[in-house]
Amino acid sequence: MHPIEDLSKEHGLIKLMLRILESMNDKITNGQPVAVEDIISGVTFLKEFADKCHHGKEENLLFPIMKKDGIKKEVELIDILVAEHVQGRGYVRNMVEAIDKKEKSGKEFADVFVSNSKNYVALLDQHINKENTILFFEARQSLSESQLKELEGGFENFEKNIIGAGRHKELHGIIHKLEGIYL
């Protein structure tokens, strides 16, 4: 698959997860029951699919190849995008800590989880929009055929060796299960 198309498709799935998180947040805020297993599944998807797989491919393969071309405006944008990945990891860490406290204090869990989850959704929505409209647009314009081929191979290896083909499939299963419940 065209590597930029591959990343765009992943954006579609991450955005779907953001909508699921919004629905979970509403339920938690309104005191409606949300299964803890579903919340853990959601956070697992964020850690493994959105961060390890998708942000991993961007940070380790796409960003370096684009930075190499040395277009000043891309270099600055890429630094902002990497900083946003780091910020997102912080929100997810806080969400995990909130889940660990759920048994002891439902109120503390609800407050900390929902506020971090809302921050994550707002951050990632605008982050993905920026990548889709600016960075990916420029990547399609400026990367050569051989650079695209290099990326395509790199992405395949990354998925196989860092994530594992079976796990990738399982993560798709997780999101579609949650979609059925929350959307």
The encoded tokens of residue 179 equal 């979609």
Residue 74 engages Fe ion in binding (rule: CB under 5 A): no
What's the CA gap between 113 and 97, in Å, rounded?
8
Min dist. Cβ of residue 29 to Fe ion (A):
28
- Smaller CB separation from Fe ion, 48 or 131: 131
How many residues bind Fe ion (CB under 5 A)? The answer is: 2
Taking the least distance from each CB to Fe ion, the nearer of 74 and 131 is 131
Residue 92: strand, helix, or coil: helix
CB of 8 to Fe ion, least distance (A): 9
Out of 17, 25, 45, 131, which residue is the one contacting Fe ion (CB under 5 A)? Answer: 131
> Which residue, 110 or 123, has its beta carbon nearer to Fe ion?
123
Stretch that binds Fe ion, among 65-73, 94-102, 127-135, 166-174 (CB under 5 A): 127-135
* Least Å from the CB of residue 104 to Fe ion: 34
We find the least distance from the C-beta atom of residue 85 to Fe ion, in angstroms, to be: 6
Instruction: Kindly identify the residues of this chain, within the stretch 30-69, that bind Fe ion according to CB under 5 A.
Output: 58
- The H or E element spanning position 10 is helix 3-29
- Residues in contact with Fe ion by CB under 5 A are 58, 131
